[in-house]
Amino acid sequence: MKQPVRIAVTGAAGNISYSLLFKIAAGEMLGTDQPVILQLVEIPQAMDKLRGVAMELEDCSFPLVHGITLHDNPFDGFKGIHYAMLVGARPRSKGMERADLLEANAAIFSEQGKALNDVANRDVKALVIGNPANTNCLILSRNAPDLDPSQFCAMTRLDHNRSLGILGNKLGVNPSDIDGVTVWGNHSPTMYPDLHNATALGESVIDQIDESWYKTEFTPRIQKRGAEIIEWRGLSSAASAAQAGLDHMRDWALGSEGKIVSMGIISDGSYGVAKGIYYSFPCICEFGSYQIVKDLEVNEYGQSMMKKTEQELLEEKAAVDHLLPA
C-alpha cells in the first residue's frame, strides 16, 4: 500500500467541495491505490457546516481516507500538503466593483500563498478554482517565493471539458474521441475556445463545422456557460466544476496520456503571450509536470482573440500590482 498523501481543500463547506471531496475520497483523483489525508479549510464562520461535511465523509467509510482534519486558517490547514485544491474565494456581493472583488481575493490568496510557502511539502501542486482564478493564482504564486511558479495553476479545465461536451454532442461523437481543443487565456467571458487544431476520431473538426456556428454560437456559449447554468439551475456549476478540478489534478499528477488539456499556467512568453501572467495554454502532462504544446497554428482570428483575453489579464494584474510583493 502506498503512503498517504495530504490534500488540502479550501472552501470545503461550499457547493463545489460537496461534490469534490467525495470524489477525492473515492480515489477518483489520484487512483484507487492512493490513500489520502484530507485537510479541510474554511473561514471561522463556516466551521460548524464543515463539521457536518466531515461527518458525512466519515459515514461513507471510504477505505482510502486515512484521516480528516478541520482548520480555520491556512497555516494549520496546509501543513505538509502535497496537493492544494483552492476552492474558497470571496464572491461578488451586491454593489461590489470588479476592483473591490480583486482586492478582497488578493487578501485571501496572499495569505494562502504565504502559508503554502511556509508549511506545505516542497513539491506541492496547487490548483486555484476560486474566482477570479487566474489573477488569484498570480497572487498566490508571488506570495510563495520559495516555490516554483510552475507549482501553481488556475483552473480552465471546466471550460475545456464544456468545449468537449458541446462539440461532441454537435458532431455525434464521444468527448473522449476529440483531441486538440485548447481554451486560451482567462477563465472569464474573454476566453478563447480554439477548435482549429482539434480532431474528432482523427478527422479535422474545423472542416466538419460551420464557421458561423463556431463563432456566433459555440464560442459565446462556452464563454458564458457558467451564466447559462445559473439561469437554468438557479445555482452555479458545482458537480461539473468539481469534476474539472479532479481531471486537472489527476492529469497533472499522473499524466494526460498524450492528450492536450487546457491549464492556466505561468506564461513563459510562448505564443507571444506576456510573461508572468497565469494564462491558459494547451498542455500535455507527463511524469508529474506539464509542457506547453508549442507548435500549434494560430490564425489571425485566433491571435486577436488571444490578445483580447491577454489584455484582460494584464488589466487584472495592474489592478492588484500594488498588492504584489516586489
Our answer to whether residue 187 is catalytic in this structure is yes
Classify the phi-psi angles of 93: left when phi > 0, otherwise alpha if psi is within -120 to 50, otherwise beta.
beta
Is 162 annotated as ligand-binding? Answer: yes
- Name which position in 158, 167, 198, 246 contacts ligand NAX (CB under 6 A): 158
Annotated ligand binding at 12? The verdict is: yes
Interface pick for ligand NAX out of 7, 30, 40, 41 (rule CB under 6 A): 41
In the stretch 265-294, what mask flags binding to ligand NAX with x, by CB under 6 A?
------------------------------
How many residues touch ligand NAX under the rule CB under 6 A: the total is 29
The answer to whether 308 and 182 are in contact (CB under 8 A) is: no
* Kind of pairing between the strands at 5-10 and 152-154: unpaired
* Cα atoms in the Cβ-side hemisphere of radius 13 Å centred on 131: 16
Q: Give least dist CB 242 to ligand NAX, A.
A: 9
The C-alpha cell that represents 278 in the structure block: 497565469
* Residue 316 engages ligand NAX in binding (rule: CB under 6 A): no
Chain positions 44 to 103 lying near ligand NAX, rule: CB under 6 A, are 46, 87-91
For position 241 contacting ligand NAX by CB under 6 A, the verdict is: yes
Distance (Å, whole) CA 261 – CA 283: 5
CA proximity to 262, closest of 300, 292, 306: 292
In the complex, residue closest to ligand NAX by CB = 14
DSSP 214: I
Residues within window 10-29 making contact with ligand NAX, judged by CB under 6 A: 10-11, 13-17
- Tell me if 143 contacts ligand NAX by CB under 6 A: no
Which pairing describes strands 125-128 and 152-154: parallel, antiparallel, or unpaired? parallel
Q: Which is nearer to ligand NAX, 132 or 149 (CB)?
A: 132
Q: Which of 71, 82, 160, 187 is catalytic?
A: 187
| Edge-to-edge strand list for the sheet holding 278-286 | 65-71, 36-41, 5-10, 83-86, 125-128, 152-154, 261-266, 278-286, 289-292
Residue 249, SS3?
Answer: helix
Task: Give binding residues as ranges.
Answer: 11-17, 92, 98, 105, 112, 129-131, 162
Task: Give binding residues for NAD(+) as ranges.
Answer: 11-17, 105, 112, 129-131
Catalytic residues: 187
Kindly list the residues in this chain that would bind ligand NAX in the complex (CB under 6 A). Answer: 10-11, 13-17, 41-43, 46, 87-91, 108, 129-131, 133, 155, 158, 187, 226, 236-238, 241
